[in-house]
Amino acid sequence: MPCRRARSRVRATALKRKPAPPRPLRASPPMRLGSGPSVSAPPAVRAALLALFGAGAAQALDATRVVEHSLYARLHARAIATTRRRRIYLRGAAADFFADPALMLHEYCHVLRQWEPGALTIVRYALEWLRRGYWDNRFEVEAREFAEDHLLEFRSLLSRGGGWEPRGPALTARRRT
């Protein structure tokens, strides 16, 4: 019998307790678009970019981070890289990005010449893309032209800066032509 009484007391006290107040809902942490580590430009690359973009771009260049293995970049269909203000999101590794001078110039053009001064915004890019598609989008045309116009000079600056060596078959093939 003592067991029966003990059980009934436990039930009685359990019924007298007030239910705990509900926990406040906490917002889930924001999704990290980066996924991978972020790095800044290596010293030789930084020096070459400053020579092309000018000393006025130094602060923005130093603040620009290159994010490796980015989920955000992978969400952009076949894009190797995509940009936002002071960010370059890569599908792959930063080493591959820094080994491709044409791609570097193209992406840094987006960041330093379009995002920084405010000419490029997500809305403007989307409208331009809807009107003209990717290839004829004025932001892409400007970045491609900038990269083509400055590629030889950029390669020369990189080779003078030391510590930079082209890697990969795509780069070697481009260099021969």
Distance CA 124, CA 110 (A): 13
Q: What is the pLDDT of residue 13?
A: 56
For the chain, domain boundaries: 33-159
Instruction: Taking residues 71-91, report their average pLDDT.
Output: 91
Q: What is the CA radius of gyration of the chain?
A: 27
pLDDT at residue 73 greater than cutoff 70: yes
Q: Tens of pLDDT along 121-140?
A: 999 999 999 999 999 999 99
% of the chain beyond a pLDDT of 90: 59
Q: What is the pLDDT of residue 42?
A: 93
| Position with higher pLDDT, 73 vs 4 | 73
- Dump strand ranges (E) for 16-80: 38-39, 65-67
Q: What is the pLDDT of residue 8?
A: 59
Q: What is the pLDDT of residue 37?
A: 81
Nearest alpha carbon to residue 107 among 143, 139, 74, 134: 143
Among 8-12, 71-75, 99-103, top mean pLDDT goes to 99-103
CB 99 within 8 A of CB 167: yes
Distance CA 85, CA 121 (A): 9
Phi, psi of 131 (to 5 degrees): -75, -45
pLDDT at residue 86 greater than cutoff 60: yes
pLDDT at residue 177 greater than cutoff 90: no
How far from chain centre, in Å, is Cα 98? 14
Q: Are strands 65-67 and 81-84 parallel, antiparallel or unpaired?
A: unpaired
Q: What is the pLDDT of residue 55?
A: 86
pLDDT at residue 32 greater than cutoff 60: no
Percent of the chain as helix, strand, coil, to the nearest 5? 60, 5, 35
Q: What is the pLDDT of residue 171?
A: 39
Question: Average pLDDT over the chain, rounded to whole?
Answer: 81
Q: Which tokens belong to 13? A: 């006290």
